Amino acid sequence: MEKTKKSTDHHNPGSSGAAAAAAADRKSADLSCEIKSYVGIRKKIRRMCRENPLAAVSAAVIVVMILMAVFAPLIAPYQEAEQDLMARLQGPSAAHIFGTDELGRDVFTRILYGARVSLMVGIIPSAITLVIGIFFGLLAGFHGGWVDYVIMRFVDVMLSFPTLLLCMVMMYVLGRYADSVLCIILSLSLINWAGTARVVRAQTLSLKETEYVEAARSIGVKRIRIMLRHILPNCIPSLIVLYTLSVPSSILSESTLSFLGIGVQPPAASWGLMVNQSKQFLFTMPWLALAPSLSIMLVVLAFNFLGDGLRDALDPYLESR
């Protein structure tokens, strides 16, 4: 049975690691009789797009958001931190389609630049998490014995820690060596890998016992090769799903940190920070908070729908949540 963490307020759809791990544990018996091949992934995704329009639309939304973030300097009508003190707190107009904030900065421009930070903070830590998780998961699952014991106890430690508190402490520790966005990326990466490690370990354990791997072993194939060539590829579908679901959770984590004032450093923009800066105006000047909140919602929903779609399409064994 698994333990998992979830102490930030927002529900962590991505730390589904544990629930997924439970599923993987339970389904391991079925898994062992079938070795899936990862070559069919592209085909399955194509089928998903046909059969699940919601997931396809979500994917499109994500792509558009990423493009907007990448080309922010070209699209944005103003500079990221360009202030106009004479035009503070204006409502939406032709000059500022989402209005201006307290320092007279264009909200639309900041949404675009904020997308860079928010998406980066979603996408990169989830990837790093995956690498760390795969490394420890494979090692623990394949080696077994004391290595497994030590790694899994460490995973337990990480999982029983209140995430938000750990994140705050990490932000303070790392704060002196890197800028705030990098800090968030590193903190989230160093904290969230434990769930992935669990899933990978569970799958490794069951795959290890398959005749296929046994055979490879008996003919003297090197361990590392077995891990990388035979076991890892079979984990890929679940990992894709895990990844897609952990992106929105990281985005929400960033927004919570920024809301608490320890996330992204002004004058840089992130959606969470923009909500934080405009929360007092929520009801007198709603446009200020509306744009960033809706952006967060949209992206998080899109990733969630895409994740659901991918799970249905790729991985019947990773139980949905």
Partner 1 sequence: MKSVMKRLIGMIPVFIGVMLLIFVLLRVVPGDPVQVLLGEHYSQDTIDRLTKAMNLDKPVFEQFLLYLSGVFHGDLGMSYVMKKPVTSLIMEALPQTVILALMASTFAWFVGIGSGIIAAIKQNKAPDHIFMGFSLAGISVPVFMSALFLQYVFSFKLKLLPLSSDGSLKSLILPAIALGWNSAGSVARLTRSNLVDALQADYIDTAKAKGLTNRAVIFGHALRNSMLPVITLMAIQLSSMMSGAVVTESIFAIPGVGRLATNAIQTRDMPLLQGTVLLTTVMVIFGSLLADILYSVIDPRIRREA
Partner 2 sequence: MKKRTGLMILTACLTALMSVSAFASDGDEKVLRLGWGKDIQTMDVHKTTDNYAVPLNIFDRLLEVQLNEDGSTEIVNSIAKEYSVSDDGLTYSFTLRDDVKFCDGTPLTSADVEATFTRMFTLPESVQTDFTTCIKGAQDILDGKTDKLEGIHVIDDYNFEIVLEEPFAGFLSVLATPTCCIMSKANLETAGDDFGVVPEKTIGSGPYMVTEWKTNDSLTLVRNPEYWGEPASAATVVYKVYPEPASMNMAFQNGDIDILDCDFIDAAIVQSVYETAYADQIVMANRLGTYMIILNADVEPLSDVRVRKALQMAINRQGILDQIYGGNGVLVDGIYPAGSIGFSEENQGWLAYDPEGAKALLAEAGYENGFDLEIAVNTSASANMNNMLQIFEQNLKEIGVNASMVNYDEAEYLKIRKNGTLPCFAAVWTLDYNDPSNIIDTFFGSVESTHGRSLNYADTSIMERVIKARAITDETERMAEYAAVEKKIVEEDAAWIPLYSLQHRFVISDKIEHFTPHWAGYGDFSCNNVTMK
Name the residues that contact partner 1, by CB under 8 A: 1-11, 13, 16, 18-19, 22-23, 153-154, 156-157, 159-162, 164-166, 168-170, 172-173, 175-176, 248, 252, 255-256, 259-260, 272, 275, 279, 282-283, 289, 293, 296-297, 300-301, 304, 308, 319-321
Output 267 or 316, the one with its CB closest to partner 2.
Answer: 267
* Contacted by 265, from partner 2, partner 1, none: CB < 5 to 8 Å by type: partner 2
Determine the 3-state secondary structure of 100 from DSSP.
Answer: strand
Output 125 or 292, the one with its CB closest to partner 1.
Answer: 292
Picking from 61, 113, 124, 73, the residue whose alpha carbon sits closest to that of residue 270 is 113
Work out which of 144, 175, 233, 286 binds partner 2, going by CB under 8 A.
175
Placement of tokens 């030590």 in the chain: 150
Looking at 156-164, 195-203, 224-232, 262-270, which segment touches partner 2 (CB under 8 A)? 262-270
3-state secondary structure 281-302: HCCCCHHHHHHHHHHHHHHHHH
CB contact at 8 A, 184 and 3: no
Work out which of 66, 89, 132, 236 binds partner 2, going by CB under 8 A.
89
E strand or H helix that includes residue 281: none
User: Phi-psi category of 270—alpha, beta or left, where left has phi over 0 and alpha has psi -120 to 50?
Assistant: beta
Shortest Cβ distance from residue 113 to partner 1 (Å)? Answer: 19
- Backbone φ and ψ of 106, nearest 5°: -75, 120
Calculate ∠ Cα 107-113-119, nearest 5°.
Answer: 120
Using rule CB under 8 A, residue 224 touches partner 2: no
End-to-end CA gap in the chain: 17
Output 230 or 293, the one with its CB closest to partner 1.
Answer: 293
Determine the 3-state secondary structure of 87 from DSSP.
Answer: helix
Q: Where does this chain bind partner 2 (CB under 8 A)?
A: 81, 83, 85, 88-89, 102-103, 172, 175-176, 180, 261-262, 265-267, 277, 279-282, 284-285
